A = this chain, B = another copy of it.
Amino acid sequence: MTANSPRVMVELIKVSKTYPPSVHALQDVSLSVRSGEMLFLTGKSGAGKTTLLRLLCRSEVPDKGLVEVAGQDLERISGSGLQQLRRRIGMAYQDFRLLPRHTVAQNIALAMEVAYRKPSFIRKRTRELLERLRLSDKYHTPAGELSRGEQQRIAIARALANRPDLVLADEPTGNLDRETSTLVMELFREHEEQGATLIIATHDRELFDDGGHRVVELRDGRLLAPEDGEDTGSGDASLQSEEADQ
């Protein structure tokens, strides 16, 4: 599979992550994501979705296994190499990670400023994103004074701001109603069309039930047998998870 794809954006090989003392967040996970693909990652609460995404932007390092993003081994990457890679990744965190005292515009601009974009570009892109997410009137509002759903959209806007090659969205619609979720998904699809790779962790079946996108499921840290013929995951994953549930 990996060999067939034109270019591989994300490659995980037998990755395990254990939090001290003994929380096996990920076990032997292998997964590869083609460049330009939109992938949904599902799984019960505590299955390890967030952990997987955190490995991809190296906020967490794996105990075992190989993590490659855009062809670069994250274990061997240099400091400035990592910084450059991170500017090509946009992550919408499950807990948003907004700066509550900064205004909405400043929060979004941050992602572009660290890449030394021009102020004029930053302003234009910020306005465009806020427009798309129906938050234009909150431009100057401090992020801490928004409702949770509004904050979630700001987090998504920040992740997309820099037109990253890889978008990681962690539960992007958890605080959004159906209508607003649709807005967000439209934005995601647009970026997919423009060539970005997207990995979306969600438990909301409605997000992926309609389309022909690949969906992988984590259960207790293991990838389940894939739904559309993926060669990832281990056969006894479901059995293992049933034991763990006891």
Give the interface of A toward B (CB within 8 A).
19, 42-46, 50, 94-95, 134, 145-150, 152-153, 171, 174-180, 203, 205, 245
In the bound assembly, the distance between CA atoms of A174 and B176 in angstroms comes to: 8
In the bound assembly, the distance between CA atoms of A241 and B134 in angstroms comes to: 14
How far is the CB of A122 from the nearest CB of chain B, in Å?
25
In the bound assembly, the distance between CA atoms of A205 and B204 in angstroms comes to: 12
Interface contact A45-B176, CB-CB below 8 Å? yes
Interface centre among A95, A150, A152 (most CB of B within 10 A): A95
- Report if A145-B50 is in contact (Cβ < 8 Å); known contacts: A94-B175, A178-B203: no
Interface contact A171-B177, CB-CB below 8 Å? no
In the bound assembly, the distance between CA atoms of A42 and B179 in angstroms comes to: 13
Interface contact A147-B178, CB-CB below 8 Å? no
Contact of A177 among B43, B152, B176 (CB under 8 A): B43
- Report if A148-B171 is in contact (Cβ < 8 Å); known contacts: A45-B153, A153-B45: yes
How far is the CB of A187 from the nearest CB of chain B, in Å?
15
How far is the CB of A225 from the nearest CB of chain B, in Å?
18
**Chain B hits for A19, CB < 8 A:** 145
Interface contact B44-A179, CB-CB below 8 Å? yes
Contact of A148 among B95, B146, B245 (CB under 8 A): B95
- Report if A45-B177 is in contact (Cβ < 8 Å); known contacts: A50-B147, A145-B19: yes
How far is the CB of A146 from the nearest CB of chain B, in Å?
8
**Chain B hits for A178, CB < 8 A:** 203, 205
**Chain B hits for A205, CB < 8 A:** 178
**Chain B hits for A94, CB < 8 A:** 148, 175
How far is the CB of A149 from the nearest CB of chain B, in Å?
3
A–B Cβ pairs within 8 angstroms, 7 of them: A43-B177, A45-B153, A50-B147, A94-B148, A94-B175, A149-B203, A171-B174
